[in-house]
Amino acid sequence: MTQQGFNDYIFAVYGYKNGTAKSYITAIHIIDEMFLYDDVFDLQGESITCINDIELLKRIEVFVRTQQSFFKKGEDSIFRNISSGQNSYPGKGFCSAALKQLLNYYSYDLKEKEASKILKERTNAKSISKDLITLFKIDKEGNEATVTARIRLGQNYFRKMVLHNFGGKCCVTGLNIPQTLRASHIVAWASDKTNRMNPENGLCLSATYDAAFDKHLISFDNDYRMIVSKEIKEYYTNEVAKTYFGNYEGKQLILPSLYLPSKKLLEKHRSLMIE
């Protein structure tokens, strides 16, 4: 486990614009600071997000929950050195709640390791998709919040899987800036449940091409060459549009290392292209 891994997990569950996600991350930072003053568990400055001992994490969660209760009552606690501007974090229970999320992240981290094992051991992409859907419990019933979280975590792993398959580069341009890259489903998540986690149902595209692909303004033929819709061609009088699309029309995408995009799924995508 890592601090960045926890941050990625929280944002995957709640979304980047959600204030709850940011509050949990801040609460973890506060707990780390408190343990710098009182190293009760001999962490020696290590963030609790990097602990790989589940039993230790559980003990820390109980301890923080108890200390949080003391703080609320105005009694001496590990939060004695907290700044006044951060009183609401232990005061409103965010610190113990953040630790519960950290325990959830521990379980998810184990699932990611199991998912990586599935990718190494399986050769059939549809079998991989089926096993990953089961692993992440994507199609299991539950309340809306639980199901939404599972879907986001499944999509988060799908992104990692697809970007790794394409070497972390846009398959059209070769752009390798992670923040600009998207894992695009060839057949949409909502349209085909069986292929939701299929590595052959994914393309690594930078944001502009992802948007065009999602709207069926571009696609790829059976030789993986880009097809551009008539609607986009109408903008070729604009040099920027011609640079982004005209220069790549008819060119083969950069092929992935292992799982080639499914020609059958690409055919389905092409059938929905805007004429």
Do the beta carbons of residue 162 and residue 154 sit within 8 Å? no
**DSSP conformational letter for 192:** -
Rounded CA separation 199/124 (Å): 10
Q: Greatest CA separation found in the chain? A: 71
Contacts 24+ apart (CB under 8 A), 88-91: 89/23, 89/26, 89/27, 89/30, 90/30
Q: Where are the domains of the chain?
A: 3-121, 128-270
Q: Which of 56, 61, 32, 60 is nearest to 44 (CA)?
A: 32
Give the 3-state secondary structure percentages of the chain, helix then strand then coil, rounded to 5: 60, 5, 35
Q: What's the CA gap between 9 and 15, in Å, rounded?
A: 10
> Which tokens hold the place of 113?
């390791």
Q: Which pLDDT tens digit goes with each residue over 125-175? A: 999 999 999 999 988 777 788 888 899 999 999 999 999 999 999 999 999
Question: How remote is the C-alpha of 116 from its chain's centroid?
Answer: 15
Radius of gyration of the chain (CA): 23
Which long-range contacts (C-beta less than 8 Å, at least 24 apart) are formed by 35-41? 35/78, 37/78, 37/81, 38/78, 40/78
**Tens-place pLDDT, residues 229-268:** 999 999 999 999 999 999 999 999 999 989 999 999 999 9
Q: 192-242 pLDDT, tens per residue?
A: 999 999 999 999 999 999 999 999 999 999 999 999 999 999 999 999 999
| Segments in 140-256 forming alpha helices (H) | 144-165, 207-214, 230-233, 239-241
